[in-house]
Every structure is written in C-alpha cells, then in structure tokens.
C-alpha cells in the first residue's frame, strides 16, 4: 500500500526523473520507506532526507514497474499532465 501523505508533498518531476516512489512515512520514527530503481543512489537518498526530514529506508524495484506505479499515482490519482 502506498501512503498518499508523502506523495502529496512530492515533486512529481523529481520522482519521475529519479524513478522513486515514497511508500510510507513512519511519523513517529521519522523513517520514509521508498522503492527506487537504484537504492545505492546516495544523492537521491540525501535529497529525500532533506525533502521529508526523515531517514530513508530504500528498497529496489524494476524500472518498468516503477514507471507504471508513477503513472498510476500522478496521472490517475492526481490527474497530472
């Protein structure tokens, strides 16, 4: 399940470019779980830490699947384009 709260604070173009999906923000522990094409991308992880003020717990996901989910999130849920 994807938590819509972090998505609401998202920069759509950044997430599409970096192929990152924020899944869940544990507000008590300040940990954001994300899936990303490259979980070793230190620059992206640093950006996310600043963006959300939380530690980042990355998980890997194939690029094609990330693209499909990003389309679902931004085009269907939020009506972007």
What does the alpha-carbon distance between residue 61 and residue 9 come to, in Å, rounded to a whole number? 21
Q: Whole-prediction pTM value?
A: 0.81
Total domains in the chain come to 1
Checking if the pLDDT of 81 tops 70, the result is no
What's the mean per-residue pLDDT of the chain? 87
Domain span at 68: 4-77
CATH number reported for the structural domain that contains residue 14 in this entry: 3.30.300.160
Token pair in block for residue 58: 């990355």
Checking if the pLDDT of 37 tops 60, the result is yes
For 26, the 3-state DSSP assignment is: strand
Q: What is the mean pLDDT of residues 48-71?
A: 91
Residue with the bigger pLDDT between 12 and 45: it is 45
């Amino acid at each position: 399940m994807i938590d819509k709260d972090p998505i609401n604070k998202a920069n759509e173009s950044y997430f599409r470019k970096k192929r990152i999906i924020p899944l869940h923000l544990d507000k008590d522990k300040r940990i954001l779980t994300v899936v990303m094409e490259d979980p070793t991308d230190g620059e992206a992880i640093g950006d996310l830490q600043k963006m959300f003020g939380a530690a980042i717990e990355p998980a890997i996901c194939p690029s094609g699947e990330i693209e499909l989910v990003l389309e679902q999130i931004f085009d269907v849920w939020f009506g972007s384009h």
